[in-house]
Structure formats: C-alpha cells, structure tokens
Amino acid sequence: MRKWIALWLGCLPAWAATPLPPKPALPPEVVATLRRDGAELLRLPMCVDAKGAFSGQREVGDALLSIGGNVAAVRAQAKPLLSASASWSDQDGKRMISAQTLIGAQPELVGSWPQRATPYGQASGVVSQQSSLSLYLQISPRAEACGKPKGEQIAH
C-alpha cells in the first residue's frame, strides 16, 4: 500500500506543474443580426476594445436597438464567453434581454421580442398581427466595425 501512495505522491508534482493552456485572443468584432420573422432586418458590427467591451445602437424605423456587453477569453475553451444585454424601444415600450454564452463565428440566438405589426399601416379596420424580432450575435475575425460606428440597414 505504501508503494502505491509513494507512486501517487511522486506523480502529483508533475501533474500540478503542468501549465494550463493560454487564453485565446479576444475577437476584434461582435456582429449583431436582427431578424423579423426570419428575414434579416439589420446587421450591426461592433468593435471589441482591449478589455473585451463592445456596444452599439441603431434606429430601425421608429424603434431603437441598443446592445452592449463584454467578451472574455476563457482558459481551456476554444470559444470566448459573451455577456450581453440588448434593448428594443418602440411604440409598445422598452423591452430588454440578457444572455451569457460561449460564442463562435456562427450566429447564436440570444433572445427575441414579440412585436405588434400592422401590415397595412394604421388605417381604420386594420387588425394588428403578432410578429417576432430575434437577435443573433456572433464573433467576426474581421474588424470592419472599428471604422464604422453605425450598422447597415438591410430592409425596412
């Protein structure tokens, strides 16, 4: 029994001295994609600063989308950890979502908001319908956002 304990204790310093893998580098950019009922409505690239913070906002018609958060490199993980909050402000008020997830280069659904839609405008007799806005975030190896403070609107 003593041999096994001595053998185990002899291996312990070698195991404890094994260094952890280095933290991966922070991505240069986080891209938000807003979809209404599956169709892309807005793409908003946001530059990630040296501390991992990002933020952006964009008007979409009479509404405002605001996003902010942080990306952190996690030791022994291939994907960075994303913590983000987003708000959507329109005639129905302000609604918020928050998410924390490991994020990669593929779009990750972080939340959605129900939305009232009137397909033929505010004319009398028009019944509003339910619609859905979905927010996706992903990292990008390109740093296109660092020189462009506003997102590009895809459709109205």
pLDDT at 130 over 80: yes
pTM for the predicted model, two decimal places: 0.75
pLDDT at 7 over 70: no
Tens of pLDDT along 103-120? 988 999 999 998 877 666
pLDDT at 33 over 80: yes
Break the chain into its structural domains and give their ranges.
21-153
Separation between Cα atoms, residue 82 and residue 53, nearest integer Å:
10
pLDDT at 76 over 90: no
Tens of pLDDT along 92-103? 899 999 999 999
Picking from 65, 56, 149, 70, the residue whose alpha carbon sits closest to that of residue 103 is 70
